[in-house]
């Protein structure tokens, strides 16, 4: 069970955030925590029923929230949703690109159209939203706009750091997202005072993504290892809060990995006891070899 927030309740007071994919899973938790910490939130998604339910839940928490239907793959939708956010709340301070597509597929069974669909949602969609949001997020001229630029958070993954089975499409898409994050941080950070960062979640329980990637029907010893523990949506939302608050004001161009160190792990082929015994044998053999080694003559 998630613990209480370590952040002050007003750290995002007066801020306005737009979260794509904000109607469910990690996106909804980010929307909820941003709202609980003072921000007004607009959530963007393709399913009106999901948006309406999410907005109702947010408003029950006392959060100022609206739901805006749109597809991040369509530039006209991106522009319309951003304009509606500005019209309703009067400003935009934070853009969270959380919309994503995923499914399990081996490369030989994944058509180019299937590959392209994920690229279009995750990579092209992220860039499209950033592109259309620029004029609202960039630092204004003295007296004509915000004194500092806004923030962009791109939700990524760790799959492409090495390689992942049946995830060639998402690995490629998220590698592109990480590159977009770094490039925009460099250029828009310099020119417009906009910070651009990413968050790479590990396996997070209770999300649509995990229901697709680790369904109940797919039982494997891999998921039973102690190291392979699920994170909580709250963990990702807290990372987003840190990056969105003044605590993260000097962080730009980085993708924060929030996975408990999972991506660093590898299967343990031998036990600790076996390692100790093998080490002793190797050291003993090495010392014996050194004793019998003939000395060299200069």
* Whether the Cβ atoms of residue 236 and residue 27 lie closer than 8 Å to each other: no
The structure tokens listed for 141 are 């001229």
- Transcribe 160-180 into DSSP letters: GGS--TT-HHHHHHHHHHHHH
Number of C-alpha atoms within 13 angstroms, CB side, residue 23?
A: 19
pTM: 0.85
Domain positions in the chain are 16-269
Task: Identify which has the larger pLDDT, 232 or 220.
Answer: 232
* Whether the Cβ atoms of residue 110 and residue 169 lie closer than 8 Å to each other: yes
Residues sharing a CB contact under 8 Å with residue 144, sequence separation 6 or more, in sequence order: none
Quote the pLDDT of residue 120: 97
The structure tokens listed for 262 are 């999972």
What superfamily does domain 16-269 belong to in CATH? NAD(P)-binding Rossmann-like Domain (3.40.50.720)
- Transcribe 4-65 into DSSP letters: PPSS-TTTTTT-EEEEETTTSHHHHHHHHHHHHTT-EEEEEES-HHHHHHHHHHHHHTT--E
> pLDDT per residue over 239-287, tens digit each?
999 999 999 999 999 999 999 888 888 766 667 777 677 677 877 777 7
Quote the pLDDT of residue 221: 46
Quote the pLDDT of residue 155: 98
Mean pLDDT of 47-58: 97
The three-class DSSP label of residue 205 is coil
């Amino acid at each position: 069970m998630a613990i209480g927030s370590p952040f002050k309740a007003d750290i995002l007071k007066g801020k306005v955030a737009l979260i794509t994919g904000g109607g469910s899973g990690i996106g909804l938790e980010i929307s909820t925590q941003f709202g609980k910490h003072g921000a007004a939130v607009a959530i963007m998604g393709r399913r009106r029923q999901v948006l309406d339910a999410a907005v109702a839940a947010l408003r029950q928490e006392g959060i100022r929230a609206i739901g805006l239907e749109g597809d991040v793959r369509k530039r006209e939708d991106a522009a319309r949703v951003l304009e509606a956010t500005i019209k309703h709340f009067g400003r935009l301070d934070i853009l969270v690109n959380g919309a994503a597509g995923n499914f399990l597929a081996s490369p030989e069974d994944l058509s180019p159209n299937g590959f392209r669909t994920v690229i279009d949602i995750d990579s092209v969609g992220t860039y499209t939203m950033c592109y259309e949001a620029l004029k609202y997020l960039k630092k204004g001229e003295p007296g004509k706009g915000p004194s500092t630029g806004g923030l962009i958070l791109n939700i990524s993954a760790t799959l492409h750091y090495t390689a992942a089975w049946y995830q060639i499409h998402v690995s490629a898409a998220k590698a592109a997202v990480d590159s977009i994050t770094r490039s925009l941080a460099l250029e828009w950070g310099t020119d417009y005072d906009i910070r651009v960062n990413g968050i790479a979640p590990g396996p997070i329980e209770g999300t649509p993504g995990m229901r697709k990637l680790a369904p109940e029907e797919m039982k494997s010893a891999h998921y039973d290892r102690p190291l392979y523990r699920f994170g909580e949506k709250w963990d990702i939302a807290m990372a987003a809060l840190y990056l969105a608050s003044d605590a993260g004001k000097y962080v730009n161009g980085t993708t924060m990995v929030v996975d408990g160190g999972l991506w660093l792990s590898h299967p343990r082929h031998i036990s600790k006891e076996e390692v100790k015994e093998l080490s002793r044998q190797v050291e003993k053999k090495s010392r014996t070899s050194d004793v019998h080694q003939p000395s060299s003559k200069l």
